[in-house]
Amino acid sequence: MRAGLCSLTIFVFMGYNLRAIEISKTYRRDSMKSKMLVPSKELVQDAKAGGYAVGAFNAVNMEAAQAIFAAAEREKSPLIIQVTQTTISYTEPEELAAVIHTLAERTTVPVALHLDHGRSFRLTMRFLKMGFTSVMIDGSLQEDGKTPRSYEENVAVTKKVIEAARSLGVSVEAEIGRLGQIGEDSGIALTDVDEAVKFVEDVKFDGTGIDMLAVAIGTRHGLFKGKPVIRSDRVKELSEALDMPLVMHGGTGVPDEDVRKGIEAGICKVNIDTQIRVAFYDAIRDVVMEKEKEYAAADAAGDPKKYDIRKILAPGRDAMTDAIAEKMRLFGSAGKA
Ligand code: G3H
Ligand code: ZN
């Protein structure tokens, strides 16, 4: 039933050829076999009721996906695993999605598969075809990820995504206000409460609205320069005015105390990307440095060297798992699955 609606939606909205639709229908039906893949709405609503947040961690490759699932299993934590559209510059997202679906079938915790920062309707539909159970339409910026969209443009594209996603039971996250980006040192504009209330109302399609809202509250993507000023007071105002799960983006580098205050004030989903990549990088750098010494000694002795890259990647994956598990405990989601 769900798969049928999906095909129809894709046909109507994408105008793809029939062969592509058939392939997507089969793929989406198969991907729905995982009992554990749930819409993120269920997870963030539970989090809101329970006063904790669900971590949303970015998977850029197979090792990252494995680390994310391993941490969730270890901590018995509900999970949002997310993929951004920029992944396309590295791999076809369908390939990564296949890995994630396989991991999801084996896990015992509830998992939502989420598109992070979808910037266009067309691209968001591509991820729906892959069996994603949740999408973010980031209408705050144009497709280039830099040029701001007007309020009206943001409303229009968000509404269109809601219209397509709702028939599939896929959750939708939107964004109002603009998050700081890497390299921006000037003050970050916070999400305006009145504008957020209007936005949530304006994007409704036939009574269906968004399931969670990403808000600008002083965080920024990537590593901070200096100490961030996180406005949990603004989170509280937004939460009271909207009564909706709110999302903290740019979770990297936010002090633990600010994360806790944010969650108390109404944050139900925290996005973490850079920090877990740093954990991965630091671990493999150390291994590579050790390997260099080993290889130099082998050269000196005239011995053969083994280039087993698994021995370099595995410690990176383990370090990433530990970093994610620590965040799950901080967010209070550990033990909630
Ligand atoms: O959407 C993803 C994030 O907001 C992650 O930000 O790289 O600063 O952790 P981050
Ligand atoms: Zn983000």
Sorted by where each begins, the domain ranges of the chain are 1-33, 35-273+326-331
C-alpha 59 to ligand 1 mean position (Å): 12
Distance of alpha carbon 320 from alpha carbon 219, whole angstroms: 22
Say which DSSP state 224 is in: P
Q: How far is CA 260 from each of CA 12, 161, 220, 288, 329, rounded to the nearest angstrom?
A: 43, 32, 17, 36, 11
Lowest mean pLDDT among 91-100, 116-125, 178-187, 264-273: 178-187
Could you tell me if 133 and 38 are in contact, meaning their C-beta atoms sit under 8 angstroms apart?
A: yes
Report whether pLDDT(236) > 80.
yes
What angle, rounded to 10 degrees, do the helices at 151-166 and 121-129 form?
A: 20
249 within ligand 1 shell (Cβ under 6 A): yes
C-alpha 304 to ligand 2 mean position (Å): 45
What is the pLDDT, as a whole number, of residue 181?
63
Percent of the chain with pLDDT over 90: 79
| Each residue's pLDDT tens digit, 149-193 | 999 999 999 999 999 999 999 999 999 987 766 555 555 689 999
CATH class of 35-273+326-331: alpha beta
221 within ligand 1 shell (Cβ under 6 A): yes
149 within ligand 1 shell (Cβ under 6 A): no
Confidence of residue 7 (pLDDT cuts 50, 70, 90): very low
User: Which of 116, 211, 258, 273 is an active site residue?
Assistant: 116
Percent of the chain with pLDDT over 70: 87
Overall average pLDDT of the 307-326 stretch: 97
Confidence of residue 335 (pLDDT cuts 50, 70, 90): very high
Confidence of residue 140 (pLDDT cuts 50, 70, 90): confident
Mutation pick for ligand 1 pocket among 54, 57, 58, 184 (CB with most ligand atoms within 8 Å): 58
Residues whose beta carbons lie less than 5 angstroms from ion ligand 2: 249, 271
Overall average pLDDT of the 211-221 stretch: 95
In sequence order, what are the residues at sequence separation of 6 or more whose Cβ sits closer than 8 angstroms to the Cβ of residue 17?
A: none
180 within ligand 1 shell (Cβ under 6 A): no
Exposed/middle/buried for 260, CB within 10 Å: 0-12, 13-18, 19+?
A: middle
What is the pLDDT, as a whole number, of residue 124?
96
Ligand showing the shortest atom-to-Cα distance for residue 56: 1
Distance of CA 242 to the CA centre of its chain: 22
Q: Which atom of ligand 1 is found nearest the CA of 116? A: 1
C-alpha 319 to ligand 1 mean position (Å): 18
275 within ligand 1 shell (Cβ under 6 A): yes
Return the residue whose CA atom lies nearest to atom 6 of ligand 1.
Answer: 250
Distance of CA 227 to the CA centre of its chain: 24
C-alpha 205 to ligand 1 mean position (Å): 28
What is the pLDDT, as a whole number, of residue 24?
45
Mean pLDDT over each residue of the chain, to the nearest integer: 89
Ligand showing the shortest atom-to-Cα distance for residue 58: 1
Ligand showing the shortest atom-to-Cα distance for residue 272: 1
Return the residue whose CA atom lies nearest to atom 2 of ligand 1.
Answer: 271
Report whether pLDDT(108) > 60.
yes
Q: Is residue 116 among the annotated active site residues?
A: yes
Distance of alpha carbon 337 from alpha carbon 327, whole angstroms: 15
Distance of alpha carbon 176 from alpha carbon 63, whole angstroms: 32
What is the pLDDT, as a whole number, of residue 116?
97
What angle, rounded to 10 degrees, do the helices at 310-331 and 256-265 form?
A: 50
